Amino acid sequence: MPTRTVLVGSASGLHARPAALFVAEAAKQPVLVTIRTSDKKPVPARSMLGVLSLGAKKGTEVTLEADGDDAQAAVDILADLLERDLDAVDA
């Protein structure tokens, strides 16, 4: 099953704007992608509450996983997004 572990790149962590962008991108994927931290259970990447419940900060290690056709592509798209600083355009 395609899996990728990356470090959260956004200055403010995975919440608010970065979380909103991440969840929106996850919802566009044709497969269900899960995200987890080392100490928490996987949650659907397209669930805002789930993603927020991870409490991931800048530099937190998170693991994405998906199954099925295009799973690798979906995991890669979301992993690349997580590694970027999504706060860079913060108001």
Partner 1 sequence: MAELLARDAIRLDERARSRDEAIRRCGAVLVEVGAVAPAYVDAMLAREQSVSTYIGEGVAIPHGTLSSKESVQRDALAVLRFPDGVDWDGFDVRVCVAIAAAGDGHVDILAQLASVLMDPAQAQRLRESTSADDVITILEGKPS
Which sequence positions are flagged as catalytic? 15
Tell which one of 2, 4, 9, 13 touches partner 1 (CB under 8 A). Answer: 13
Q: Does 46 bind partner 1 (CB under 8 A)?
A: no
Taking CB under 8 A as the binding criterion, the range among 28-36, 51-59, 69-77 that sits at the site for partner 1 is: 51-59
| Type and span of the H or E element at 61 | strand 61-66
Q: Which residue has the tokens 């998170």?
A: 62
Residue ranges in contact with partner 1 by CB under 8 A = 11-17, 20, 48-58, 87, 90-91
